[in-house]
Structure 1
């Protein structure tokens, strides 16, 4: 069964069948349905290689993540996938395992014409390379970003979010507030550290370098860095943690030292992953609109691919501080998101 056969049965031109398959948004709903009815009835399967050769399109989007084991990215990827599929694109995923070399290997797929566009959920390449890449191919940064980079980006304001999380602890009466960062080589870690410091300075609290420990985003590093903080002569009474995975490691370390959260140590995490809702005690955390980040990133990429005008190249979405039980709030006043 060829495309021309489908066209004859549907009583349309082969070009119309091609548009239904490649750009359905350009075809009327009635015609699109008529063509799809024929395609489904005869089980027509377009030849992908032949179509790519003819249209110079792969209908494939490459999404590169720094660590596929991180539960944070699942909702971001779902937002990307939903928009991609409804627009006639497939998504292939590349996991860099936090390696710049692996990131460059995946990017080479663009030069090999194996994808029409790229969404980077990591920004480890240098600014010059990213700008060169953006000048040649449709490209969007999501979650991570880079100051002064003229590339379409979707993210939250990590400085403001971290400041809000730290101020929550301060307003509860804590003056000895620690911070466990992510890898300082990552812009998100640096910005959340800035927000922590801004909150401390604005409330005229001392920033003790011993209270700032660098983690690697994993449960184990949260556990180990918290043990270091607890071993100090004057340990903190509260800690703001780079992400929820590490925050749960922090809570485990506190419990293993025969202390409790929040009675002895108050904890705030970041990301509002699913586990943070069922973990005990339930985490106070900053919720990122993960699905919306993925959705808007894919929409920005499609605008580039189809040559549409982008009204905004830098999209900053709102976060939300979700109050759990890990800071000592009354459970009757806590608030969680039902949609996660």
Structure 2
């Protein structure tokens, strides 16, 4: 592999002159510049990214920490982040902690040790973190949620509004016994979705039945387990608000096992509008989260923070919208 010393020897100039030509950081006559660049081309010289990072104090690398990735929503957000990083000539290092608090701490330190320029933090699971840092040595942006107070820019989704829209849609279709299948209620977005659900019921003068509230995780198994339990109650719901599309898919699987046809026997609405929601049968009505916008905004915000560390910290809130498909039917009076 060619080095600057090789170029300097063949061009009959000093190594520092070669450096000035390649980095374009000092005046060099056009004649010498052309001679150096001819040798650079001849040797197919590639500047060392590591060496450049030592000089500029930048690695052009962003770290992204996701605590779980089996939910399709997170995969789609990561894809949007990676695409926008590429457009900005940044590399992305993705770290998945698989829901382990120990892995979270270890991987967070690993990304810092790799000298990434900044961090994107997206926590999908709730853990008790006794030693979570309050401050990080590098810029960070929290996407969705983080298990401790952290000095960072934050991007949230208006979960209360999304849940309100979902529940109100089911009420509009004449459903009165509406269940909610939610994630861990220690997590703010799960709490907010429960608040939105209750708000819609209260506005419609419908009772809040605690037997119709199921708490679990934002995953497939929670949806499956929830419907299994709800079908054993004395008066099963006619509709279910699944607080993520993964939960809705679990409900679809349990409904199929019980020979229930959606939406003839059971109406279901999801949350996230992942790509899978369009292709299951019947296509899932859901609440659309702007995943591409979330990924792009997170990268933009982090790059601005890297360039201007003293800038006032900001919090962004993205609004979801209802997407109507074929999984909700108007309830007929018995």
* TM-score interval, normalised by the smaller of the two chains: 0.7 to 0.9
3-state SS in 2 of match to 1:88? coil
**Structure 1, unaligned stretches of length 5 or more?**
21-34, 330-340
Mapped to 1, the partners of 2:147 and 2:211 lie a distance apart of 28
Mapped to 2, the partners of 1:151 and 1:127 lie a distance apart of 19
3-state SS in 1 of match to 2:225? helix
Match of 1:132 in 2: 135
3-state SS in 1 of match to 2:271? strand
Match of 1:99 in 2: 100
The Cα of 1:43 is off from its aligned counterpart by 3.6
> Is residue 185 of structure 2 the alignment partner of residue 180 of structure 1?
no
Match of 2:306 in 1: 305
3-state SS in 1 of match to 2:51? helix
Q: Deviations over 1:141-180 (max 9, x none)?
A: 1133679865211232011111111111011111101000
Q: Deviations over 1:58-95 (max 9, x none)?
A: 22211011212222122212222223223232111110
> Is residue 71 of structure 2 the alignment partner of residue 83 of structure 1?
no
**Structure 2, unaligned stretches of length 5 or more?**
26-35
Mapped to 2, the partners of 1:107 and 1:263 lie a distance apart of 47
> Is residue 87 of structure 2 the alignment partner of residue 74 of structure 1?
no
Match of 2:152 in 1: 151
The Cα of 1:18 is off from its aligned counterpart by 3.6
Match of 2:28 in 1: none
**Between Structure 1 and Structure 2, whose CA radius of gyration is higher?**
2
Mapped to 1, the partners of 2:45 and 2:119 lie a distance apart of 29
Q: CA RMSD in A?
A: 3.1
> Is residue 194 of structure 2 the alignment partner of residue 193 of structure 1?
yes
Please say if residues 110 and 116 of structure 1, whose CA atoms lie closer than 8 Å, have aligned partners that are also in contact: no
Please say if residues 59 and 115 of structure 1, whose CA atoms lie closer than 8 Å, have aligned partners that are also in contact: yes
The Cα of 1:130 is off from its aligned counterpart by 5.3
Q: Which moved more, 1:152-161 or 1:40-49?
A: 40-49
Please say if residues 146 and 187 of structure 1, whose CA atoms lie closer than 8 Å, have aligned partners that are also in contact: no
Match of 1:211 in 2: 212
Normalising by structure 2, report the TM-score: 0.82
Normalising by structure 1, report the TM-score: 0.81
Aligned residues: 310
CA spacing shift, 1:189–1:282, aligned 2, 3 Å: same
Q: Deviations over 1:206-251 (max 9, x none)?
A: 1111101122222222111111011100111111011111101112
Q: Which moved more, 1:67-76 or 1:232-241?
A: 67-76
Q: Which moved more, 1:223-232 or 1:74-83?
A: 74-83
> Is residue 60 of structure 2 the alignment partner of residue 59 of structure 1?
yes
